[in-house]
């Protein structure tokens, strides 16, 4: 029995593709037999990461967003959202709850906090001018998968 699987898809950084990313990650994660709650957590975290890439990474321009996911050990789902946008000058500051670079757009500044809440692990790597990679993982406790 195989205990490793992976997928990757790349899409244009337009708001309509945020829901596409949610569906793709849910379809991939279903092989782990997650609960409805676990699927909701994963979809919410991916939604936040993709929205950050679209709104902040590309900020009014367009580029490509890559969604990668791997399954290891039959219950560990690791997800990466990567953009080649403007990057984050101060990742620590950006990860502070309520910090936003766009208060005029009524952004809550809670994107990274939401990701941390719903996932078991979160890593953000960013290089100004080169883009950002958000890597997060979650252990699925309910199933055991394929």
Nearest Cα neighbor of 65 from 78, 74, 56 is: 56
pLDDT in tens, 20-65: 999 999 999 999 999 999 999 999 999 999 999 998 899 889 999 9
Residues 6+ apart with CB under 8 A from 92: none
Q: CA-CA distance, 100 to 92, in Å (whole number)?
A: 12
| Domains of the chain, CATH where assigned | 4-139 (3.30.565.10)
Prediction pTM value:
0.87
pLDDT (mean) for 5-17:
97
- State which H helix or E strand residue 1 sits in: none
| Whether pLDDT at 8 is above 50 | yes
Q: CA-CA distance, 79 to 56, in Å (whole number)?
A: 19
- Considering the chain, what is the average pLDDT of its residues? 87
Helix and strand counts by DSSP (H, E) for the chain:
4, 5
Active-site residue list: 48, 52, 107
pLDDT in tens, 67-114: 999 999 879 999 999 999 999 887 777 766 555 555 555 555 557 788
In this structure, how many other beta carbons lie within 10 angstroms of the beta carbon of residue 72?
Answer: 13
Higher pLDDT, 89 or 131: 131
């Amino acid at each position: 029995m195989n205990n490793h699987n992976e997928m990757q898809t790349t899409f244009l950084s337009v708001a309509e593709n945020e829901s596409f990313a949610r569906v793709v990650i849910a379809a991939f994660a279903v092989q782990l037999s997650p609960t409805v709650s676990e699927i909701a957590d994963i979809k919410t975290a991916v939604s936040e990461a993709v929205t950050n890439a679209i709104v902040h990474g590309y900020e009014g321009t367009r580029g490509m967003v890559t969604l990668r996911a791997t399954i290891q050990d039959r219950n560990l789902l690791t997800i990466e959202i990567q953009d080649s946008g403007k990057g984050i000058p101060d990742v620590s500051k950006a990860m502070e709850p309520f910090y936003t670079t766009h208060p005029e757009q009524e952004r809550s500044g809670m994107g990274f906090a939401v990701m941390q809440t719903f996932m078991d692990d979160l890593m953000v790597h960013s290089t100004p001018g080169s883009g950002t990679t958000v890597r997060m993982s979650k252990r699925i406790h309910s199933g055991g998968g394929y």
